[in-house]
Amino acid sequence: MSQFNVMRTPPETAAMNTPLLDVRGLSIALPPGADRPLAVDNLTFTLNPDEILCVVGESGSGKSMTAHAMMGLLPAPHVRVSGGSLLFKGKDVLAMPEAEQRSLRGGRIAMVFQEPMTALNPLMRVGRQIGESLREHTALPAPARRARVVELLDQVGLPNPAELAEAYPFRLSGGQRQRVMIAMALACQPDILIADEPTTALDVTTQKQILDLIRSIQAERHMGMMFITHDFGVVAEIAHRVAVMRHGKLVEYGAASDVLNRPQHPYTRQLIASVPHYIEHRDDHAKTGAPLLVADKVRKVFNVGGGLFKKSKQVVAGDDLSLTIHPGETVGLVGESGSGKSTLGRSIVGLIKPDSGRILFEGTDLLALDRKGFRPYRRAVQMVFQDPYASLNPRHRVGDIVAQGPVAFGEDRGKALARARELLAMVGLDGSAADRFPHEFSGGQRQRIGIARALAMEPKLLVADEPVSALDVSVQGQVLDLLDDIRRRLNLAMLFITHDLRVAAQVCDTIAVMRRGKIVEMGTAREVFTHPRDAYTRSLLDAIPGKAWHIPDDLQNVPAGAH
Amino acid sequence: MMNSDFWRAFARNKGAVLGLAILIAIVVLAAFASVFFPGDPWEMATAPFQPPLSEDALLGSDMLGRDIASGIAHGARVSLLIGLTSTAAALAIGVTLGALAGFHGGKVDDAIMRFTELFQTIPNFVLAVVLVAIFTPSLTTIVLAIAIVSWPPLARLARAEFLSLRSREFVQAAITTGQSNSTIILRQILPNSLSPIIVSASLMVATAILLESSLSFLGLGDPNAMSWGYMIGAARTVIRQAWWMSVFPGLAIVLTVLALNLVGEGLNDALNPKLARSRG
């Protein structure tokens, strides 16, 4: 693959033509009682033929709403366009009669959605689903449609396209489904392809393949493409031009090279600064004393399905997993979905019982202990969960949530609540937070509460299972800084589980890379990033979006206290 | 949580408000039955076969000269009492078993669910008749019989809720912070699974009232308690000559059951706001 070209701009010819899409002063109104009156506020931008425009923003920025307005997907009557126009080749889409709008959508403008698992009809063969839009928008006879479907599946790089057209969606992997979605969008040779976070739900290596595919298809067909994303790494991979949105307003708009390398607006600068990236910001961890935790040949097999008369299928989630964590060390466990990284984390905190192997905590084998014997170790090993919306009981006050652990261990409730307030202050929340309910907090704040809950037990080891993957990038940076700060102040050891090597790079001393239930490489963060030994690690590193882009020096995020 | 949001959501459903009004009226009637209609409803109050709007009997009298209106008011007590207590008993059995099955899963779940299915395979009215016939009819045996035949759906519901909540991260967090199983079940999971259980319990009160009426229609009611079902059952032989004897108790049953169903639906809207919105 060629180096990222900072000078990449849309071809000269494009500028000559009228824009494919001209959005002028678009406003979308939210129903009364929403957190703001307008989801999209006076938005103006253009999309030229043969150009990839990346619309970047965090959740709630209105970036998807814009695409949905174009596709007629707004949840009417609650949310509606309240002003402005959407011109497609000079004609206002919103003023067109319903039938004309429909022929435009799916025909001239096509869309690829974020979630490949739910975007396909599970009961319809893949080929027929693609054929639907051909039937709707073209006059092709059935045999020609079938041939075209196979051709499309071939173009999006799927193996055995003829066979695959007859398959049901459940037989395909996430990446394959996203390819099918793209084939479906391409069926009628649209002028505009809208992609709404098409790679967010995919693993990094798959993401890279899909981004490569999208880029090559766009270049081949000279389509105009609106690519919605929250990830500046992805922007650096594919964008010609960039529009940055915040709270429904366009804050920065310009050529990719300008926005990426010379961002002007403070918000763009903040977003770029919070893109996780590897920096040599700390020395290798000096391993002192006896290891705090040793996982030794841990193996876990899940029995899936099965019943009274049916044999269950065995899935090996973890095999021969060995890992050492020293006091004060942060070990990153990195792998794609299904690699077994969470299985190991959950085994260590005692949520899963492995089938064999040993997990030694300060020399005691936790797996050999019964429920009662394990109980004292519960305090020492605590967990921070992935989903800030599911990990707090919605019916309990925050103070009780944080104090629940110490209370369960017999501490006086008043004392535990007072301590909970201190901890909430420590993780950066107001003291009054203790009296409120979880739904009153944002995702990042909830994750702070989750961290306070773990700290209330005064643990020696913190297992953080994807603690930032559900958060927006700017919040993600803050939570990572908090974890790093707490780890240092309390001299905590941490097992940091993540699918994102960039995030691991920011907080970990040591990195273990997992694949299909095995640890394929373990070494210091520096070694793994600069001299990866395993081929899989290399492919993971290679798949990091935007790795060729050098984040402007003044925006490199160096955590406080780093070297 | 019974806050103002809850009431606003509840009040948005006009039917539910009407149902609640009817229900309150019935409760008042039952509570003050002996004030409105002093004396025993079994006692002869006037001449037999008095039609409605006659002098001593607003809704007429039956074959033995008993006041129908008085019977309905006193019968409301029995109906509501049986409806509420048998639902409470069914909740106690169903939610406990369902919670245990859902929380522990595996073999415990298998055992409890097979036991539940055993009860579900027997037609519940037949079972109730058999139970009441074996243990002589009285308020207690009727309540027990109704509870025994109506807990399985509640158990299945509670199990489903517990199964899905058990894997939620806040429950796992409770496990890692060392809380006991009973604390997790009672303090963490149960409060979060209450909404659908409350809704189906409110509907179950209506079913229980119907079951009780059917039992007393068949003559299996408590012989010492005036009941709507008994009144209809007793009047069925003279339905051609004296329609009022069965129509008014019948109306009472219809209104009560309707009111309970409306209230249940309103609760459903108020407790599951997402569903309510999609109704438009």
Residue A48 tokens, joined: 């030229």
DSSP code, position B2: -
CA-CA distance, A536 to A211, in Å (whole number)? 19
Please give the full DSSP string across B39-73, using - where no structure is assigned: S-TTS--S-TTPPTT-SS-TT-B-TT--BHHHHHH
Q: Is the pLDDT of residue A137 over 80?
A: yes
All domains of chain A in start order, with CATH: 6-108+191-273 (3.40.50.300), 116-187 (no CATH), 293-555 (3.40.50.300)
Residue A459 tokens, joined: 């643990």
Residue A276 tokens, joined: 């996780």
* Residues B190-245: tens digit of each pLDDT: 988 988 898 899 889 989 999 998 998 888 988 888 889 889 888 888 888 889 99
Find the CB nearest A390 among B170, B180, B188: B170
Q: Is the pLDDT of residue A6 over 80?
A: no
* Residues A160-191: tens digit of each pLDDT: 898 889 999 888 888 888 999 999 988 888 99
| B181: contact with A, CB 8 A cutoff | no
Decide: helix, strand or coil at residue A28.
Answer: strand
pLDDT of residue A558: 54
pLDDT of residue B127: 93
Q: Give the number of other CB atoms < 10 A from CB of residue B60.
A: 22
The CATH number fitting domain B4-37+60-278, selected from 3.90.850.10, 3.40.640.10, 3.40.630.30, 1.10.3720.10: 1.10.3720.10
H helices of chain B, in order, are: 4-12, 14-31, 33-36, 68-104, 106-121, 124-134, 139-166, 169-176, 181-183, 190-217, 228-235, 244-271, 273-278
| A347: contact with B, CB 8 A cutoff | no
* Residues A238-295: tens digit of each pLDDT: 999 999 999 999 999 999 999 999 999 999 998 888 888 766 556 666 777 789 999 9
pLDDT of residue B52: 86
- CB contact at 8 A, A419 and A413: no
Say if the Cβ atoms of B178 and A450 lie within 8 Å.
Answer: no
Strand A493-498 relative to strand A330-335, pairing? parallel
Nearest to A195 by CA among A235, A233, A246, A165: A235
* Residues A444-488: tens digit of each pLDDT: 999 999 999 999 999 999 999 999 988 888 888 889 989 989 988
% of chain B beyond a pLDDT of 90: 54
CA-CA distance, A80 to A27, in Å (whole number)? 9
Q: Which amino acid is at A72?
A: G
| B136: contact with A, CB 8 A cutoff | no
ipTM of the complex: 0.79
- Residue to mutate among A79, A391, A404, A447, with most B CBs inside 10 A, is A404
Say if the Cβ atoms of A390 and B175 lie within 8 Å.
Answer: no
Decide: helix, strand or coil at residue A528.
Answer: helix
Give the angle A379-A383-A386 at the CA atoms, nearest 5°.
Answer: 165
What burial class does residue A362 get, using C-beta atoms within 10 Å of its C-beta: 0-12 exposed, 13-18 middle, 19+ buried? middle
Closest-CA distance, A393 to chain B, in angstroms, reads: 6
Q: Which amino acid is at B32?
A: F
Backbone angles phi, psi at A190, to 5 degrees: -70, 160
% of chain A beyond a pLDDT of 90: 44
Strand A91-92 relative to strand A192-196, pairing? unpaired
Q: Is the pLDDT of residue A114 over 90?
A: no
pLDDT of residue A307: 63
Instruction: List chain B residues with pLDDT less than 50.
Output: 1, 275-280
pLDDT of residue A240: 94
Find the CB nearest A387 among B169, B176, B187: B169
Q: Is the pLDDT of residue A20 over 50?
A: yes
Closest-CA distance, B171 to chain A, in angstroms, reads: 8
Nearest to A46 by CA among A293, A243, A316: A243
Residue A193 tokens, joined: 């392809």
The tokens 């940055």 sit on which residue? A244
State chain A's mean pLDDT as an integer. 87
Is the alpha carbon torsion for A85, A88, A90, A94 positive or negative? negative
What burial class does residue A397 get, using C-beta atoms within 10 Å of its C-beta: 0-12 exposed, 13-18 middle, 19+ buried? middle
Backbone angles phi, psi at A408, to 5 degrees: -65, -25
Q: Which amino acid is at B253?
A: I
The tokens 């297992």 sit on which residue? A463
CA-CA distance, A74 to A208, in Å (whole number)? 30
Among chain A residues, the shortest Cα distance to B172 is held by: A351
Say if the Cβ atoms of B177 and A405 lie within 8 Å.
Answer: yes
Is the alpha carbon torsion for B71, B72, B73, B75 positive or negative? positive
| A353: contact with B, CB 8 A cutoff | no
Distance between alpha carbon B55 and the CA centroid of its chain, in Å? 35
H/E segment holding residue A180: helix A174-186
Please give the full DSSP string across A97-131, using - where no structure is assigned: -HHHHHHHBTTTEEEE-S-HHHHS-TTS-HHHHHH
* Residues A483-519: tens digit of each pLDDT: 989 988 998 999 999 998 888 888 899 999 999 889 9
Backbone angles phi, psi at B165, to 5 degrees: -75, -30
Cis preceding linkage at A77, omega within 30: yes
Give the angle A182-A131-A119 at the CA atoms, nearest 5°.
Answer: 45
Q: Give the number of other CB atoms < 10 A from CB of residue A175.
A: 21
On the CB side of A31, how many CA atoms lie within 13 Å of its CA?
Answer: 8
User: In terms of pLDDT, which residue wins out, B4 or A224?
Assistant: A224
pLDDT of residue A389: 85
Domain ranges of chain B: 4-37+60-278
- Residue to mutate among B107, B161, B168, B170, with most A CBs inside 10 A, is B170
CA-CA distance, B50 to B244, in Å (whole number)? 9
Residues 6 or more apart in contact with residue A86 via CB below 8 angstroms: A21, A22, A23, A24, A26, A69, A70, A92, A93, A94
Decide: helix, strand or coil at residue B119.
Answer: helix
| B180: contact with A, CB 8 A cutoff | yes
Q: A298 forms bridges with which residues in the sheet?
A: A321
